[in-house]
């Protein structure tokens, strides 16, 4: 399992990614926009960042503009993101951490070829769970 921090912004994610890239000497390795996804969004939001990755040394920071229905509240604008190597591992950990908390996205198959889910645990910490399924 790998753990990363996931930061959320209100429309200025790309600016933040470039700032941290320059400040930390990292490399942006992914930048997908809401307009690239099959979910509907307004024309104004199509250029916003749905998912970005900044590699810094041996680690990474993940980024996103919050979706149009939920604005980021600073202090609550991050999630702990876990990446898994197996289906049973993600399922067990998702159910353990979400127990007593609030499921914000059920664990499910996604359009990007992964199993993914989100929750807020009983202590108020936001979590994201991802397992990239093996390519057939």
pLDDT (tens digit per residue) in 38-75: 989 999 999 999 999 999 888 899 999 998 888 888 87
Q: How many CB atoms lie within 10 A of CB 96?
A: 9
- 3-class SS of residue 121: coil
Every domain of the chain and the residues it spans: 1-76, 85-136
Instruction: Give the whole-angstrom CA distance, residue 62 versus residue 70.
Output: 18
Fold of 1-76: 3.30.720
- 3-class SS of residue 14: helix
Q: What is the average per-residue pLDDT within 1-12?
A: 91
Residue bearing tokens 């889910």: 117
Question: Are 31 and 49 contacting, i.e. CB atoms less than 8 angstroms apart?
Answer: yes
> What pTM was estimated for this model as a whole?
0.74
Q: Which CATH class is domain 85-136?
A: alpha beta
User: Do the domains 1-76 and 85-136 sit in the same CATH topology, yes or no?
Assistant: yes
Higher model confidence: residue 96 or residue 24? 96
Strand pairing of 126-132 and 114-120? antiparallel
Residue-averaged pLDDT of the chain? 92
Instruction: Give the whole-angstrom CA distance, residue 110 versus residue 116.
Output: 7
**110 to 3, 38, 119: CA distances (angstroms):** 20, 11, 16
Question: Are 92 and 98 contacting, i.e. CB atoms less than 8 angstroms apart?
Answer: no
């Amino acid at each position: 399992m790998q753990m990363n921090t996931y930061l959320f912004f209100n429309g200025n994610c790309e600016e933040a990614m470039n700032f941290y890239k320059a400040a930390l000497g990292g490399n942006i390795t992914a930048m997908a926009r809401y307009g690239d996804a099959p979910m509907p969004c307004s024309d104004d939001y199509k250029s916003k960042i749905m998912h970005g990755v900044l590699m810094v040394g041996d680690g990474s920071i993940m980024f996103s503009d919050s979706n149009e229905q939920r604005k980021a509240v600073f202090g609550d604008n991050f999630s702990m993101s876990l990446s898994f190597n197996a289906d049973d591992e993600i399922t067990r950990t998702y159910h353990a951490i979400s127990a007593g908390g609030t499921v914000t996205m059920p664990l499910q198959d996604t359009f990007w070829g992964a199993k993914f889910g989100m929750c807020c645990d009983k202590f108020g910490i936001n979590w994201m769970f991802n397992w990239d399924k093996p390519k057939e």
